[in-house]
């Protein structure tokens, strides 16, 4: 009868105090660990704690100012490989820094995002990390700016991770990666292999990630004095299905190209199967490249040449700078580099 005698649910600190024959403050001190308590008292208290299976209510501690800090992150869909990696980085770093991690997926619904951020302000979250690209409209900037101000005035901070930055002066931390640079290098690589007409399977035209990659595509052409045929610049979204559909249509319309660069690896995957369905060999008949370097890129056949993006690092950095653990980085705008990883899906032109 000495082991456990808890019956139903949460006991309070006063229950423990009563059972140990001390006051609540003493229990708090024993559990806190620093204040001097005689070992006899400590033993009695600890025993009562064990008997009652007591755990202090974290919410109450939080209200008293000694809670576990919390951090929130918001993304469109945890299912996408690149988002998942950012999420992973965020979660790892948050845990390392002793923070709890709240997550919210918006499925692209702006309203959800706004509401969730407001909830996080109420939760007194240490920071809110918005993950993933977005259309960069006036409305976006104003809305996001409002969220940033709101959070800032509550002592929290908004972090934009792979998202378009706001104007200057917004209380925001921005962590981006070099979309344009990566695309530039990738397309340069493709052009170097002798391709003249390279099809670009882009994303939504108001999406900054898509825009950056598109700019890289264009810039790489111009740098070699080429002027890409506008007909080769297609727009869709970042899904596998979009790549599949776009590729099929391009083939059906008889578009003339020897290489295709997809805005993401997912798009490339869809495009690849469309190519295969059409009986085309990659890279024999047409070359293909992606973007993101998701783990599966290696297992497509042929293995996909793509651009590596340090997604996990991006997530880690987001929480680290948000939590202000790197005083050396006073700058609130970080840009991470990307690099192309050459595999087997792009070949020299005119060479099966």
Partner DNA sequence: CTCCCCTCGGGAACCGGTTGCCATCGTGTT
Partner DNA sequence: AACACGATGGCAACCGGTTCCCGAGGGGAG
Beta-strand runs (E) in the chain: 70-75, 100-105, 127-131, 158-161, 172-177, 198-202, 233-235, 259-262, 287-289, 306-308, 333-336, 339-341
Quote the CA–CA distance of 55 and 63 in Å, as a whole number. Answer: 16
User: Which residue lies nearer to DNA by CB, 19 or 207?
Assistant: 19
Quote the CA–CA distance of 279 and 285 in Å, as a whole number. Answer: 10
Report, in Å, the least distance between residue 18 CB and DNA. Answer: 11
Residue 28 sits in the site that holds a copy of itself (CB under 8 A):
no
| Segment contacting a copy of itself by CB under 8 A, of 13-21, 117-125, 169-177, 178-186 | 117-125
User: Which residue lies nearer to DNA by CB, 5 or 25?
Assistant: 25
Residue 42 sits in the site that holds a copy of itself (CB under 8 A):
no
In the chain, what are the helix, strand and coil shares in percent, each to the nearest 5?
A: 45, 15, 40
Report, in Å, the least distance between residue 21 CB and DNA. Answer: 7
User: Which residue lies nearer to a copy of itself by CB, 54 or 217?
Assistant: 54
Number of residues that bind DNA (CB under 7 A): 29
Quote the CA–CA distance of 281 and 345 in Å, as a whole number. Answer: 10
Residue 29 sits in the site that holds DNA (CB under 7 A):
yes
Pair 280, 347: CB distance under 8 Å: no
Quote the CA–CA distance of 148 and 128 in Å, as a whole number. Answer: 9
Binding positions for a copy of itself, 145-204, rule CB under 8 A: 150, 153-155
3-state secondary structure of 197: coil
Q: How many CA atoms lie within 13 A of 335 on its CB side?
A: 7
Residue 84 token pair? 């998942």
Residue 87 sits in the site that holds a copy of itself (CB under 8 A):
yes
Residue 65 touches which of a copy of itself, DNA, none (CB < 5 to 8 A by kind)? DNA
Closest CA to 144 of 126, 158, 161: 158
Residues near DNA (CB under 7 A) are 10, 12-14, 21-29, 31-32, 36-38, 40-41, 54, 56-57, 60-61, 63-66
Residues near a copy of itself (CB under 8 A) are 6, 8-10, 53, 55-60, 62-63, 67-68, 77-79, 81, 84-85, 87-88, 91-92, 95, 100-105, 107, 112, 118-119, 121-124, 150, 153-155, 240, 269-270, 272-273, 276, 295-296, 298-301, 303
């Amino acid at each position: 009868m000495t082991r456990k005698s808890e019956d139903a649910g949460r006991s309070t600190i006063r229950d423990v105090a009563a059972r140990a024959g001390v006051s609540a403050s003493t229990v708090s001190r024993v559990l806190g660990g620093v204040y001097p308590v005689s070992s006899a008292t400590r033993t009695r208290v600890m025993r009562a704690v064990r008997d009652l299976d007591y755990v202090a209510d974290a919410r109450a501690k939080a209200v008293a100012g000694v809670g576990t800090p919390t951090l929130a992150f918001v993304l469109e869909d945890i299912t996408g490989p690149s988002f998942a990696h950012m999420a992973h980085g965020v979660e790892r770093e948050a845990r390392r820094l002793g923070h709890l991690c709240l997550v919210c997926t918006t499925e692209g619904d702006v309203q959800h995002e706004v509401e969730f951020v407001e909830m996080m302000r109420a939760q007194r979250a240490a920071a809110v990390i918005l993950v993933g690209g977005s259309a960069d409209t006036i409305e976006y900037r104003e809305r996001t700016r409002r969220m940033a101000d709101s959070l800032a005035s509550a002592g929290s901070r908004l972090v934009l991770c792979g998202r378009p930055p706001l104007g200057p002066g917004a209380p925001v931390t921005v962590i981006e990666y070099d979309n344009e640079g990566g695309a530039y290098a990738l397309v340069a690589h493709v052009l170097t292999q002798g391709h003249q007409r390279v099809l670009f399977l882009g994303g939504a035209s108001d999406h900054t990630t898509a825009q950056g990659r598109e700019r890289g595509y264009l810039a790489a052409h111009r740098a070699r004095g080429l002027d890409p045929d506008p007909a080769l610049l297609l727009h869709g979204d970042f899904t596998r299905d979009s790549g599949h559909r776009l590729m099929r249509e391009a083939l059906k319309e008889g578009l003339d190209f020897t290489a295709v660069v997809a805005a993401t690896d997912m798009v490339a995957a869809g495009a690849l199967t469309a190519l295969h369905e059409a009986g085309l060999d990659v890279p024999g008949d047409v070359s293909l490249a992606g973007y993101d370097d998701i783990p599966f890129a290696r297992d497509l056949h042929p293995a996909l040449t793509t651009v590596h993006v340090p997604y996990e690092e991006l997530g880690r950095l987001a929480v680290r700078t948000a939590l202000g653990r790197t005083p050396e980085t006073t700058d609130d705008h970080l840009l991470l580099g990307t690099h192309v990883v050459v595999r087997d899906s792009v070949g020299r032109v005119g060479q099966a």
